[in-house]
Structure 1
Amino acid sequence: MNRERTAGTVLTGLSVFGYGVGVVASYPGRSVTIVGLMVGVTLVAVGTRGGGA
């Protein structure tokens, strides 16, 4: 597994967790979880490209 895919997976997981916490109890900055989710999914997509470099 490469670094981009690993970072994207971790960031996506943390963002989903943060969003879930934000649904139960609102906190300042919870909108950042949506940005984290978008960046995480993008990193996973970039990390799954073919070829080894």
Structure 2
Amino acid sequence: MGQGTWKMGERAERRSDEIAALRAGVDLGMTLIDTELPRVLWRRFLSDLSG
């Protein structure tokens, strides 16, 4: 099971909620993240998730 990222990274005011959603999915055991994000935004998310 996995989660998608479509429309994530488009609005700065949603950033913390989007990161929390990705973390929650991983915590629940999701092993697939569909990276619909442009590469630059996805790298920012990965940086935030690890930090």
Give the TM-score normalised by the residue count of structure 1.
0.37
Give the TM-score normalised by the residue count of structure 2.
0.38
Choose between structure 1 and 2: higher strand proportion: 2
